[in-house]
Each structure stands twice: as structure tokens, then as C-alpha cells.
Amino acid sequence: MATSRTMSGEYQQAYERSMTDPDGFWREAAALIDWEREPETIMDSSALPFSRWFGGGELNTCHNALDRHVDAGRGDQPALIHDSPVTESVTTFTYTELRDLVARFAGVLRSVGVGKGDRVVIYMPMVPEAVIAMLACARLGAVHSVVFGGFAARELAVRIDDARPSAIVSASCGIEGKRVIEYKPLLDKAIDLAEHDPGRSIVLQRPQFQGEMTDRDVDWAEAMSTAEPTECVPVAATDPLYVLYTSGTTGKPKGVQRDNGGHAVALRWSMEAIYDIHPGETFFCASDVGWVVGHSYIVYAPLLTGATTVLYEGKPIGTPDAGQFWRVIAQHGVKALFTAPTAFRGIKKEDPDAALLAEYDLSGFETLFLAGERLDPETYHWATEKLGVPVIDHWWQTETGWAIAANPRGLEPLEIKPGSPSVPVPGYQVEILDVDGSPLPAGEEGAIVIKLPLPPACLQTLWDDDERFRESYMSRYEGYYLTGDGGYIDADGYVFVMGRTDDVINVAGHRLSTGSMEEVLAGHPDVAECAVIGVNDQMKGQVPRGFVVLKAGVTRGEDEIGPELVALVRSEVGAVASFKNVAVVPALPKTRSGKVLRKTMRQIADGEDAMVPSTIDDASVLDTLRPVLEKGPAGG
Ligand code: COA
Ligand code: AMP
């Protein structure tokens, strides 16, 4: 266990300065970035809730991630290591090699008409070309929108219609464990479903499955062979770098928009302050480039720092065994690993004694970082005991782009309290409010909010929808950003995150909307109404459970309709939803105003004390449902 210190040292000083002198604090951090034109202002909060960071500044994020490291003599250092147990290959790209590939792919994008400000949807598995495509967009000043490969065609189509891209970059297939997932047919279907015409699609053909090419498609390899390398196009610090869709409480995903300047500064700063990773060191973030964790800590932060990043195309278990994380750490000299607790629950289940650890030399490994969902104490203790390094929980969201609360290992290692992601990160004024907006004392649970302005790298707005941005995050409590999480802060200033207060669920570290699953169920011809709730699951944290009421006159029952509904969610939302349980029920419990009592249902299913609101319409409906909820999912 690492030495713990009290909060009087470097963390406290940095935190206080970020609160009392934010301009000075972030001006200093901005010196870690190359500017084409120095910012005139640091933070402009005149248009709150919208904040603008580094106004007047110009930069290029790709230059900061690649070219400047080559210019500074890091050209021969590995920038990206693609470690792929599913294809049994390891490929290393130096900074010079990666820069050259990115410059050429930017040329390909330009040749199909992509320019500054245009959107490019990227729908790819964990291949180096996904990173190359993202950085090539940044090089051109175009705005990428990466869609997680586990989402089905309909979800991709919704994102295409919202982002209105000028081009799409995809691959013929992904490899999930032993299965080959054919992406190209999904891409074609999504383009058919979408109303927006996305222009050309550049397709990486992989040997495991060759997609059928149409007139719209451009072959990645062919296009690269003749591409002209392209220079970095300077953009305003406040111009968008990317839009990343995340689940909200409705079926329509939210397009989180992030800028270039604030993002580069905060992520570069976080790499040393939070993760204690310096130029030349190796970082392994086992997430997916389709999620925010992958954007920030597989791609941008390590490369902005001049570190080496590992892109892992495999699973924590089953590709082929539960020792793969240890192998990657030993083989590539990884200093810190960042993943989701669910990955460790998987490893623990397969190899409870962590016997496979003995096969690898982990002497250079210093820290395990976990995020994406609550870190249960059992997993925390197991990982700490088996690895013998500090296990650091930290809490953040797609919207913030980096940690809100963490134990800042580079600034000052603080005491670890199991169950807490530790303390607010410099830049974040975290508070707990009650329903009326009054601050709550230490230890009392309420809504976790962040006082405006948000620090750099947090969302600028929702893509093309300022109104939804205000309404979703900024309207509940005037002057505060609503995180959507509930929790408390203890007397030592440690934050405890207890879970979402809305209809967002977290399945194996994947954020999903019950609303989008309900939309799919409601679309079945036999379904009159439905509800989807997230219930506790030992492995995945949460899994969804569906409850449907059938239309009058439907004679078929759960045994027939249930599997149809499961298949429907899998094909419309994606396998990643892990939607495997649905029950046909006579009615759903509601308030008198017609709101389904999802929270009460979830509490009963999880075996908690259920709060039954006094506004319940017909208590007998809940009584009938109770045994179904308590029994748990059949076969689940
Ligand atoms: N493309 C296509 N399908 C995908 C996919 C992708 N990129 N990612 C996941 N899926 C599929 C899986 O194959 C699985 O399908 P199945 O129902 O046919 O088995 C389904 O979606 C659920 O996947 P997952 O949630 O990954 O669970 P799993 O049962 O395959 O694996 C663990 C179990 C323990 C390995 C898993 O919980 C895990 O570690 N996931 C990764 C966590 C993570 O990195 N989260 C990112 C946040 S930081
Ligand atoms: P995402 O936007 O996919 O990163 O998911 C963000 C949500 O995941 C948060 O709002 C939390 O509900 C949950 N989450 C992320 N990290 C943690 C953590 N360390 N502890 C508890 N919940 C977390």
C-alpha cells in the first residue's frame, strides 16, 4: 500500500489555487501545449452556463499529439502499441511512423471532401486505423464522432442523422473474442436507415472478413497508397475537436461536444497530475476508443504527453485467458493500467487466486486506475492484495472528459478510502445539494453537482442543441452542472458516488439508456406498454430487465414474445446492452399522473427498502409485481 498523507500538501495547494486563481492555474497548464497563437483570455464565463476556454488561442491538437514530439527528438520512440491477442499480433508505431500515417490519412479525408469543421463518423473496432482516423480529423480541423462498435445499425443511423457527417470511416469487421463481427453490413444498413447522406465511406478491409464494396466505398489501403500527406490546420481553441454520443434519459443520445484548446490543456495536465505518467513512459488503458475513456486515455492524453499508449484488441478474459492484462503489462513495460472494475471482476471469477500473475514480471508496474462504474469494495480488496500496488478509483463522465474526483498520484498520493474515488480534482468545485438546492452537510446524501464554470475539457454544449444542454444539465440548479449522480462528501472532503439518479444504467462499464431499450420494446406489435430498469449484477455491475404489458387480445405469452423482444433489442441497440430478461406482466405500477415507478421497481428487484410514493395510483399493481421483481430474472 502506498504511503498516505494528509491533505495539507501539494494537492490542497493546487486545488485552492484552481479555485482562487483559475486563470493563473490554467495559464500555467497551457504552457505544456504548443500554440499557433497564444490565447488572449484563459476563461471567459460571461455567457454562463456556456464557458469558453483559451479564447483567441489557436492550435492544432494533432500537432500537439504527434508532430511536436517528432520535432523534439521523440521520433523513434513508440507512440502506439497495438496488442491484439485476437489476431495474435503486436504492432508498434513510432511517433514518426504514426505522424506520417496520420498525415497521409488526412490527405485521404481531404480527397473525399472533408475540411475544417466537417464531421466524420468513425465506426471501427480496436485497430490502429481507428486512432489514425481520429488524429487525421484533428489534423484537418474536422470533427470526429466515434461510434462504439458494439452498437447496432439503428444506433449508428441515429448518430449519423444527428452529426450529419461528410464522410464515414469504418472497417469490414471487428473481432470479439472468437467471433468475427461483420461491421460492413451494419454500416450499409445504418446508411440505408439514416436520412442524412454521409458521402463517401472509407473502409478498412481486414483479412478475417472482406466487406462487399459499393460505389460509395473507398478502400483504405488503396487510398493510402496514393495519398498526399497533409499539414496541420490551425483551429480556434474553442472550435470543436469531437462529438461523442452518450446515453441520456431518452432514446435520443446526447452529442457531447468538446473543444480543442481546453481539452488539450486539461488532458495533458491530468496525465502527470492524476496518473503520474510522464513523457517516455507507457500507459495501458483497456477501454474502447468508442467510449470517452478511450478517447481521453487511449488516444489523446498519452500522446499529448509524449508517452507510449497501448491499444489492446482483446478482452480481459477468454482471449485466450485471464492473464492477458499481466502479459501486456510485462511485455510492454506498462507503468499504469486503467480499466473498468467489471474487467477485474471477470479476471477474479476466472482466476480467483490470480495464479497467472506468477508467469509475468510486473516489477515495473506501479498503479491500477479504475473507473466507469462504482468500484465495489470486494473487487478493490482483491486487486490490491493480488497486485500489491495502489488501486485508484476515480469518477468521471463522458460529459466531463476527465476525472471529477480522483486520488492525484502525480500531485500527491492521498489516503485511499475504499468506496470513494477520493477528492475533487483541481478545477472542479463539487457540492452536494438537496432537492431544494440547499447545500447538505458532510455525510448527507443528495445530488452531486459542480459549480460553474466547469474546468477545461468539459463539454462545451450538446451538438447542435444548446437548449438540450441547458435543460439537461444546467436548469435543475441555477449556477451548477447536474452530474446525474447521487452521493455525499465526508468530513475529510472525500466524495462517495452512490449511483445515477436518472434512467441511465451502467452495464459492464458501458453507459446505456433504458429509454432506448423501452423504445425498441414499445415498437413490438404486441406490446402495449413497457418499462426497463437496471438491476444489480455481480459481474456487470448492472444489467437491464424489461417488463411488458401486452395489448388486449394478444394470445401469445412470455415464452414466445420474450425471446422475440430479447432478439429485437440485440439487433436494434446492440449486444452490448446485455438485454436478456423480459417478463410479461398484467400492469405497470404508476403514479396518479401516469409516471411508471421505475425506481421503486428497481429497489424491490435489488432487495433494498423500497420507497413507495404516496402518489401511487393503484398499490395492488405493485403487490402483484413484487414476487416477479423479487424472484429475479428467469435464467438470468
Ligand atoms: N463490437 C461488437 N460486439 C461487442 C463489442 C464490440 N466492440 N463489445 C462488446 N460486444 C458484445 C459482446 O461480444 C457480448 O456479446 P454476447 O452477448 O453475444 O456475448 C456483449 O456485447 C456484451 O459484451 P461485454 O459487456 O463486453 O461483456 P462480455 O460478457 O463479452 O465480457 C467482461 C465480460 C468481464 C469481459 C466484460 O464485462 C468487460 O470487461 N468488458 C469491458 C469493460 C470495458 O472496457 N468498459 C469500458 C468502460 S471504461
Ligand atoms: P460514462 O459517461 O460512460 O463515463 O459514465 C459515467 C457514469 O458512470 C457516471 O455518471 C457514474 O454514474 C458512473 N461512474 C463512472 N465512474 C465511476 C466511479 N468511479 N464510481 C462510481 N460511478 C462511476
Ligand 2, atom 11, residue with closest C-alpha: 373
| pLDDT score, position 1 | 32
Ligand 2, atom 3, residue with closest C-alpha: 511
Nearest ligand to the C-alpha of residue 576?
Answer: 1
Nearest ligand to the C-alpha of residue 500?
Answer: 2
> Residue 8's pLDDT band (boundaries 50, 70, 90)?
low
Region 178-186 average pLDDT: 95
Distance 465 CA to ligand 1 centre (A): 31
Q: Quote the percentage of the chain above a pLDDT of 90.
A: 92
Q: How many helices (H) and strands (E) does the chain have?
A: 20, 32
**520: amino acid identity, one letter:** V
Give phi and psi for 577, each to the nearest 5.
-70, -20
Ligand 1, atom 21, residue with closest C-alpha: 576
Nearest ligand to the C-alpha of residue 506?
Answer: 2
As a whole number of angstroms, the distance between CA 565 and CA 571 comes to 10
| pLDDT score, position 7 | 56
Ligand 2, atom 4, residue with closest C-alpha: 397
Q: In this structure, which long-range contacts are made by residues 471-476, counting pairs with CB atoms below 8 Å and at least 24 apart in sequence? A: 472/248, 472/254, 473/49, 473/399, 474/49, 476/447
Which residue in the block uniquely carries the three cell numbers 492525484? 408
- Counting from 1 in the atom list of ligand 2, the atom nearest the Cα of 399 is 2
As a whole number of angstroms, the distance between CA 612 and CA 597 comes to 8
176 lines ligand 1 (CB under 6 A): yes
- Residue 597 domain-assigned (yes or no): yes
Distance 170 CA to ligand 1 centre (A): 19
Which residue in the block uniquely carries the three cell numbers 403487490? 623
373 lines ligand 2 (CB under 6 A): yes
310-355: per-residue pLDDT in tens? 999 999 999 999 999 999 999 999 999 999 999 999 999 999 999 9
| pLDDT score, position 366 | 98
Structurally, how many domains does the chain consist of? 1
Query: Contact, 230 vs 120, CB < 8 A?
Result: no
pLDDT of 519 strictly over 80: yes
As a whole number of angstroms, the distance between CA 454 and CA 475 comes to 15
| pLDDT score, position 250 | 75
- Counting from 1 in the atom list of ligand 1, the atom nearest the Cα of 125 is 7
DSSP state of 37: B
pLDDT of 444 strictly over 60: yes
| pLDDT score, position 292 | 97
- Residue 582 domain-assigned (yes or no): yes
Q: Quote the percentage of the chain above a pLDDT of 70.
A: 98
| pLDDT score, position 634 | 53
| pLDDT score, position 635 | 41
Largest CA distance in the chain: 74
> Residue 248's pLDDT band (boundaries 50, 70, 90)?
confident
246 lines ligand 2 (CB under 6 A): yes
Distance 278 CA to ligand 2 centre (A): 26
292 lines ligand 1 (CB under 6 A): no
293 lines ligand 1 (CB under 6 A): yes
- Residue 515 domain-assigned (yes or no): yes
Query: Contact, 343 vs 286, CB < 8 A?
Result: yes
* Kind plus residue range of the DSSP H or E element containing 482: strand 480-489
625 lines ligand 2 (CB under 6 A): no
- Residue 448 domain-assigned (yes or no): no
As a whole number of angstroms, the distance between CA 132 and CA 106 comes to 9
Compare 635 and 305 and report the one with higher pLDDT.
Answer: 305
DSSP state of 272: H
Three cell numbers, residue 298? 487511449
pLDDT of 402 strictly over 60: yes
- Residue 462 domain-assigned (yes or no): no
- Residue 63 domain-assigned (yes or no): no
480-517: per-residue pLDDT in tens? 999 999 999 999 999 999 989 888 999 998 999 898 89
Mutational test site, ligand 1, from 510, 511, 570, 572, max ligand atoms within 8 Å of CB? 510
Q: What is the pTM of this model?
A: 0.94
574-614: per-residue pLDDT in tens? 999 999 999 999 999 998 888 899 999 999 999 998 888 88
As a whole number of angstroms, the distance between CA 355 and CA 260 comes to 44
pLDDT of 5 strictly over 70: no
Distance 370 CA to ligand 2 centre (A): 10
As a whole number of angstroms, the distance between CA 619 and CA 613 comes to 10
Ligand 1, atom 47, residue with closest C-alpha: 509
Region 224-235 average pLDDT: 98
As a whole number of angstroms, the distance between CA 462 and CA 192 comes to 25
Q: How many CA atoms lie within 13 A of 381 on its CB side?
A: 4
As a whole number of angstroms, the distance between CA 504 and CA 94 comes to 40
Terminal-residue alpha carbon distance, the chain: 37
616-626: per-residue pLDDT in tens? 899 999 999 99
- Counting from 1 in the atom list of ligand 1, the atom nearest the Cα of 576 is 21
Q: 569 is in which domain, residue-wise? A: 508-631
- Residue 594 domain-assigned (yes or no): yes
421 lines ligand 2 (CB under 6 A): yes
- Counting from 1 in the atom list of ligand 1, the atom nearest the Cα of 580 is 17
Residues 6+ apart with CB under 8 A from 381: 418
- Residue 627 domain-assigned (yes or no): yes
pLDDT of 4 strictly over 60: no
Q: How many CA atoms lie within 13 A of 265 on its CB side?
A: 29
- Counting from 1 in the atom list of ligand 1, the atom nearest the Cα of 540 is 37
**How many residues are recorded in the chain?**
636
Region 420-439 average pLDDT: 97
- Counting from 1 in the atom list of ligand 1, the atom nearest the Cα of 286 is 44
Q: For the domain that residue 593 is a member of, what is the CATH number?
A: 3.30.300.30
| pLDDT score, position 636 | 39
348-368: per-residue pLDDT in tens? 999 999 999 999 999 999 999
151 lines ligand 2 (CB under 6 A): no
186: how many CB neighbours lie within 10 A of its CB? 25
Nearest ligand to the C-alpha of residue 340?
Answer: 1
Mean predicted lDDT score pLDDT of the chain: 95
Residues 6+ apart with CB under 8 A from 353: none
As a whole number of angstroms, the distance between CA 439 and CA 480 comes to 12
Residues 6+ apart with CB under 8 A from 156: 121, 123, 147, 186, 187, 190, 194
As a whole number of angstroms, the distance between CA 61 and CA 102 comes to 12
DSSP string, 356-424: GGGGS--TT--EEEE-SS---HHHHHHHHHHH-S-EEE-B--TTTSS-SEE--TTT-PBPP-TT---EE
Kindly list the distances between the CA atom of residue 273 and the CA atoms of 10, 278, 411, 511, 634, in Å, as whole numbers in the listed order: 10, 10, 5, 26, 47
